[in-house]
Amino acid sequence: MMTEKDRTDLTRKIIFEDGTVFRGYGFGSSSEKKLELVFNTSMAGYQEILSDPSYTGQAVVMTYTVIGNYGINDDDFETETPSLGALIVRDYTDEPSNFRCSRTLSEIMEKYDITGVCGIDTRLLTRRIRDYGSSRVMITDNSTPDAEALSALRGYSFPADQVRQVSTRKVYEVAPSGTEAFSVVAIDCGIKKNILRQLSAMGCRVTVVPYDSDPEFISSLSPDGLFISNGPGDPEDVMPAIDTVRRLHGRIPAFGICLGHQILALSYGARTYKLKFGHRGGNHPVRSLSTGRVDITSQNHSYAVEENSLKTVGLKVTHINILDNTVEGIEHVSDPSFGIQYHPESAPGPNDSIYLFRKFLGLMERRKS
């Protein structure tokens, strides 16, 4: 654990728009940040959370108390350049114990300018988010006057170009790990490495393209399937991807995960809305309406597809979140297109949701034959 001596010069605070202040100690970067505050209930996987591009512009409160105890390794990053805004924990451990550990969590956070706050009552903070919803906050040094911080926070508007920030700038390929069976174009809205690993392991050669790629360019690659990735922010801000997917309807099988699921729904004319505090964790139960089976799922999203908006656009609900009955899966009634709100590649089950990738492969196989 960090000692009191270590904490002496690192005092920080989190201030809300209503003037509420939480005071703690710093680790990682010391940068001042204005962010959306959310919580994650996972008991492990802080490295994957830290490096998930879907958290761009957010401060994540970890509900599990001890964070940093197994350090950081070189293999489990979900992106090359983490873009999480801040990490807030109860107890931070700066002396990790793990044979794979190469660096401490604080070292990585400092490298990628991710602000850390520890010593906070994270249970109280999580209950506030649960009761009042995700909030705008400012994380700053304790010496900053509250009135000054409040003025800066209330005058700040969050950017609407988060997908542009994390999407690839150039086209690149990921080779299949064995014999090539299918070619897939993946629209990168903030894609996680483990999705690419999963597709590669199942015999797909994946060509990753920027989020604003033209549909004619994608068609020129002659893919067997189209994948729309996860990513940060409001799906309605990603109009280039929505328009591209719309213009490719019915031409090639399409599979969307998380933000990609929302983009797919919007491309058919459905609507999305922002959840009160979102779904973030590794144990959300989701029911398949076709089988009645319940999967344990990994989730990270602020927005959901509006169920009533699906009725007139050719989409049907395939999966429902048992906790709040929100839409977790959709499928088009005639086009070979489907989407899933959660992250099947994260596999907390651990193999509950692998069938979704096999379903995508099945659609591509039928198109080829």
Q: Is 319 a catalytic residue?
A: no
Q: How far is CA 78 from CA 4, 44, 73, 268, in A?
A: 33, 15, 12, 29
**Is 36 designated active site?**
no
Neighbours of 144 (CB within 10 A): 15
First to last CA, the chain: 59
With left for phi above 0 and alpha for psi between -120 and 50, is residue 280 left, alpha or beta?
beta
Name the strand (E) or helix (H) holding 91: strand 91-92
Q: List, as one string, the DSSP characters of 35-65.
A: EEEEEE--SS-HHHHHT-GGGBTEEEEE-SS
* Rounded Cα–Cα distance for residues 301 and 350 (Å): 20
Residue 67: both structure tokens together:
């964070």
Nearest to 85 by CA among 125, 134, 139: 139
Among candidate residues 261, 279, 284, 343, the one labeled active-site is: 343
Active-site hit among 48, 78, 110, 345: 345
Q: Sign of the C-alpha dihedral, residues 116, 121, 126, 129?
A: negative
DSSP 171-185: -EEE--SSS--EEEE
Q: Measuring CA to CA, which residue among 197, 341, 325 is closest to residue 255? A: 341
- 53 backbone dihedrals φ, ψ, rounded to 5°: -60, -20
Amino acid at 266: L
Is 343 noted as a catalytic residue in this protein? yes
Candidate list 258, 284, 328, 332, residue with the active-site label: 258
DSSP 261: H
For residue 82, whether the previous peptide bond is cis, meaning omega lies within 30 degrees of 0, is no
Secondary structure of residue 276 in the 3-state scheme? strand
Residues classed as catalytic: 258, 343, 345
